[in-house]
Structure 1
């Protein structure tokens, strides 16, 4: 009874902190603008099964992709076992879901095997991140704090797997005559070592549960928030072709007014800002991308601008958006403001104009983030609000306005080349 009471208190605290984090993020989302409507559910389910659950984009890097996919799939299986552990803690039982028979055996066996595999892979990931010179783990946005966050998350996952194995070892030792479920790895370890792990069952259970609770509340403030958001992010991604950029409704309305002199101008309609200058101008989809971003660097790794030495890093764009929302969003909710903006204070004009809009970053992103859409919206602000663009573009704009074409020739002279 004491264990149930203590566990219930810990669970309520965990849920309370997590709910507070969710409401904080919900308040930030309210500061953003609407995006595209969520339609074509069947196509979204297909994409989610393929990209999120199937990890199709991850396999473009076969070896590390396969390792990451196994970690992801293992997490899904182990989560089912964790749900049972939470239920056991609430009702004071042990192995409550064993009534499911062979399905339970498969889940427990898979979780036991995956716990060992993930533990081995996490050790390899830590070694790889700490000692191997991986180019996409570098960049101005990859600060010491970011590296510490990545290492801490890996250690969290590693100890989660280790504590689960310890719990399984203790359970098998204490129930050698009546083991519910199948545990291939743990059973082999007991056979090879001939040790009695019975005293570790209770401590293994508590350590595993507490690590789950702490990790769940750490994730919303970590770059590993994609553990929660990667699947929803893929489901809610834009189904339009990557090269199709949405038109601004305000511009469409202005063009229609120009073409139809008799159209009535609605003065009551609020004049919105063209493009994106700061967090109030981004859509909820942009902000969700920034939260879901795994910061894996695959986008920057394939960016032709970055490869050729330009300052642009597609990953940095969304890291900066998340940081700016944390900074200014908090101020806005307090009724305050600052003199900074996303453009220039976080993202320079040089970065914005370096993008070739090739969409290699969006194509490579394993969770369907569309980097060019946000970059194009920031360009729209620079051009349409500040008339700030590279000299070559300004000359082209002037020619289009004066001559109806990008070239500096009168429309009457356009056919002279044919002569």
Structure 2
């Protein structure tokens, strides 16, 4: 490889990683649009969560077939790309297989990589069949159409091509290596190129080498626009996940203070401090992405769109409009829209007469939720669609007084009768005389 190749390779790396860095900055900026929340408690439990769920894939294997195949793709793809380090050194310095001096160790590594490459190919083909031929219900739901559906296939094709390029690169390079004992798979592909001249073999090997590294950089930058961003975000998402028991909801500080004041017999309700001039009144719940906390926005970007949440949702299973997967996808889409608005207006958000509530998510979807936490339990990366649903319900009830009639009736009964039923306290035990 001459100096021109080295320079071109360096430019390719700088462009690829530079664009990736800009996308990561935009991602962090968008997530930080959310309300601040403290998730630094109990670090040991958080590290354990990340190790078991993000790294160990413990929740994936609850569905064994998909779980095992996913682990193969995940482990295979990560480990195989350890080879990326060798490619970068070779490309910048002009060496060829710089780590081959490791001898038997290098042969073992290459052999392991090739076995994993074949396993990844098999797993990806099975995934493609499940999505496009078998058509599992959670992959053909109405909320997964258009780009989200195509995106899943694009990633599968990417992985097929990258693994094939890796094996063909090794197979053609077999003819130039003194010791290729580690090429367990590619040595069986090499006979396909036995009729090629040395110059043709070199062209094929170099072409696949360049396509392989270019494909990896393209894949890396495509992640920002894809559901496969969870490859990176699953780790912080599981680390910052809510450690409280499922079903425990946070209390609003403003409401808590008011209730304490009401229950204190010695308190003078008229002595409550008046808001200072210019102070913005507390907003109850959320009607747009800026009203959600940053962990909820991180959840939205981490969503794998696997549909496990929706397939376990009792509301969805009984024909209701609610899909927890759609809640997360809509949140991410609205957040992206807000981010583009900020980019277009030099760092300032200009109101666009749109909100997450109504323009993306309807009250019908929100009120269909039973708050059973099935979606939270099923998510393989600890996402909580329920937290977003509950915050938006709070906005409907406390800011717009827009609860459904049965709920309004129940709250009226609690206020008047001290119970959700339409009977006065004096009549509450009349049933015993019947």
Following superposition, the deviation at residue 359 of structure 1 comes to 1.0
Is 1:226 the equivalent of 2:230? yes
Superposed, 1:242-281 pairs within 5 Å as 242-260=246-264, 261=267, 264-265=272-273, 267-268=275-276, 270-281=280-291
Counterpart of 1:72 in structure 2 is 74
The alignment's C-alpha RMSD in Å is 2.2
| Equivalent residue for 1:362, pick from 367, 376, 388 | 376
Is 1:384 the equivalent of 2:386? no
Question: Alignment partner of 2:428: what SS?
Answer: helix
Cα distance in 2, alignment partners of residues 313 and 322 from structure 1 = 15
Superposed, 1:245-324 pairs within 5 Å as 245-260=249-264, 261=267, 264-265=272-273, 267-268=275-276, 270-324=280-334
Q: Deviations over 1:243-291 (max 9, x none)?
A: 1122222322332343453575362453231111111111111111111
Unaligned stretches of 5+ in structure 1? none
Aligned length: 417
Following superposition, the deviation at residue 411 of structure 1 comes to 2.8
Following superposition, the deviation at residue 103 of structure 1 comes to 5.4
Following superposition, the deviation at residue 5 of structure 1 comes to 0.7
Cα distance in 2, alignment partners of residues 15 and 266 from structure 1 = 53
Counterpart of 1:214 in structure 2 is 218
Following superposition, the deviation at residue 312 of structure 1 comes to 0.5
Question: Alignment partner of 2:111: what SS?
Answer: helix
Is 1:18 the equivalent of 2:24? no
Q: Is the 8 A contact 2:72 2:123 kept in 1?
A: no
Counterpart of 2:351 in structure 1 is 337
Cα distance in 2, alignment partners of residues 387 and 228 from structure 1 = 40
Q: Deviations over 1:219-257 (max 9, x none)?
A: 101122112222322222222212112222232233234
Cα distance in 1, alignment partners of residues 292 and 142 from structure 2 = 23
Superposed, 1:153-232 pairs within 5 Å as 153-175=155-177, 177-179=178-180, 182-190=182-190, 197-232=201-236
User: What's the TM-score, normalizing by structure 1?
Assistant: 0.92
Is 1:50 the equivalent of 2:45? no
Q: Is the 8 A contact 1:257 1:265 kept in 2?
A: no
Following superposition, the deviation at residue 102 of structure 1 comes to 6.0
Cα distance in 2, alignment partners of residues 320 and 264 from structure 1 = 40
Unaligned stretches of 5+ in structure 2? none
Counterpart of 1:107 in structure 2 is 109
Q: Deviations over 1:68-123 (max 9, x none)?
A: 11111111211211122223222222333456666544433221111121122222
Question: Alignment partner of 2:185: what SS?
Answer: helix
Cα distance in 1, alignment partners of residues 257 and 157 from structure 2 = 53
Counterpart of 1:399 in structure 2 is 413
Cα distance in 2, alignment partners of residues 400 and 94 from structure 1 = 77
Cα distance in 2, alignment partners of residues 357 and 105 from structure 1 = 54
Cα distance in 2, alignment partners of residues 319 and 157 from structure 1 = 23
Relative to structure 1, is the Cα distance of residues 81 and 324 closer, same or farther in structure 2, using a 3 angstrom cutoff? same
Counterpart of 1:122 in structure 2 is 124
Counterpart of 2:365 in structure 1 is 351
Q: Deviations over 1:352-372 (max 9, x none)?
A: 011111111111111111111
Following superposition, the deviation at residue 65 of structure 1 comes to 2.0
Q: Is the 8 A contact 1:276 1:380 kept in 2?
A: yes
Cα distance in 1, alignment partners of residues 85 and 255 from structure 2 = 51
Relative to structure 1, is the Cα distance of residues 124 and 293 closer, same or farther in structure 2, using a 3 angstrom cutoff? same
| Equivalent residue for 1:38, pick from 22, 40, 43 | 40
Q: Is the 8 A contact 1:81 1:107 kept in 2?
A: no
Following superposition, the deviation at residue 193 of structure 1 comes to 7.3
